[in-house]
Amino acid sequence: MNKLRIGLVSVSDRASSGVYQDKGLPALQAWLESALSSAFVVETRLIPDEQTLIEQTLCELVDESGCHLVLTTGGTGPARRDVTPDATLAIADREMPGFGEQMRQISLHFVPTAILSRQVGVIRKQALIINLPGQPKSIKETLEGVKDPQGNVIMPGIFASVPYCIQLLEGPYIETNDTVVASFRPKNAIRETKS
Q: Is residue 91 part of a domain?
A: yes
User: For residue 12, which of 121, 130, 129, 134 has the smallest C-alpha distance?
Assistant: 134
Say yes or no to pLDDT of 193 above 80.
Answer: no
Tally of domains in the chain: 1
Domain that includes residue 19, residue range: 4-189
At 73 the pLDDT is 96
| Global pTM value | 0.95
Q: Is residue 33 part of a domain?
A: yes
Report the CATH number that the domain containing residue 145 is assigned in CATH.
Answer: 3.40.980.10
User: pLDDT tens-digit profile of 103-159?
Assistant: 999 999 999 999 999 999 999 999 999 999 989 999 999 999 999 998 888 999 999
Q: Is residue 71 part of a domain?
A: yes
Q: Is residue 138 part of a domain?
A: yes
User: pLDDT tens-digit profile of 41-89?
Assistant: 999 999 999 999 999 999 999 999 999 999 999 999 999 999 999 999 9
Q: Per 3-state DSSP, what percentage of the chain is helix, strand, and coil (rounded to 5)?
A: 40, 20, 40
Q: Is residue 142 part of a domain?
A: yes
Q: Is residue 66 part of a domain?
A: yes
Q: Is residue 16 part of a domain?
A: yes
Q: Is residue 194 part of a domain?
A: no
Residue 170, CB half-sphere, CA atoms under 13 Å: how many?
4
